[in-house]
Structure 1
Amino acid sequence: MAVRVLRVYDPLEDDGGQRVLVDRLWPRGLSRSKARIDEWCKDVAPSTELREWYGHDPTRYDEFARRYRGELEDPIRAAAFSHLSELAGNGTLTLLTATKDFAISQAAVLAGLLEG
């Protein structure tokens, strides 16, 4: 199982496998035709409240990741995560986010869980 995290704005790579956007909001300035994604799995994204609290502040990442893992137990998010797990089991899965620092994003948390 190979799970990668990239920015949705990054150039398309040939070996990217399934490309899934995991943000709740559509990326700014990117048309759907230029996004080159296979799926938009917004149900797996963190709640608006958690996303706004976090604000991509690196000092809050550990707490964000802990709270987000808790949110993934919600039935709708759990089903979306299960779907991602199935996709990862079928080959390379590239989780896409618009976040500038994807290493401290929900996509990074998801990748860790999927690989873990």
Structure 2
Amino acid sequence: MEIKIKRVYEAPSRQDGKRILVDRLWPRGISKEAGKIDLWLKEISPSNELRKWYDHDIEHWKEFKQRYWKELRSNLEGVRKLKDALDVKIITFLYSSKNLEYNNAIALKEFLDR
């Protein structure tokens, strides 16, 4: 299985496979149909408290990942739902952050790769 990362505002592609939105908040201006979103797993996204603390500050990136992974390890039901969704050859995690290098989709993929 291959997991890709893509900003939800980028045009959908046939090469995306199953498209899973991994943000807690629905992206502004995107409909499920227009975004070709197959599944929204907000329960595996960072908590509101963690999301607000991080606030896309790359100085907090390392600590953000550690805190997020701790949340994931204690979120057995959410992680089970995610693993159940990984049932196809290609998966694309969708996120809405403007930061292409430091976002929860990347942290989630790193968590799964470990």
What whole-Å deviation, never above 9, does each CA across 1:35-93 have from its counterpart, x for those lacking one?
A: 2100000000111000000000111110000000001123xx33222332333353111
TM-score (norm 1): 0.89
- AA aligned to 2:43 is D
The 5-angstrom pairing of residues 20-35 of structure 1 reads 20-35=20-35
User: Is 1:5–1:102's contact at 8 Å kept on the other side of the alignment?
Assistant: no
Query: Aligned AA for 1:56?
Result: H
Contact 1:22 1:107 in 2 (8 A): yes
The total of aligned residue pairs comes to: 114
Offset at residue 13 of structure 1 (A): 1.3
Q: Percent identity?
A: 37
* Larger deviation, residues 37-46 vs 105-114: 105-114
Letter in structure 2 aligned against 1:55: D
Q: Residues 18 and 88 of structure 2 are in contact (CA less than 8 Å); yes or no, is this contact kept in structure 1?
A: no
**For the Cα contact (< 8 Å) 1:85–1:114, is it kept in 2?**
no
What's the RMSD between the two structures over aligned residues?
1.4
User: Which residue of 2 is the match for residue 99 of structure 1?
Assistant: 97
TM-score by structure 2 length? Answer: 0.91
Partner amino acid, structure 2, of 1:34? A
Please name the residue that 2:13 is paired with. 13
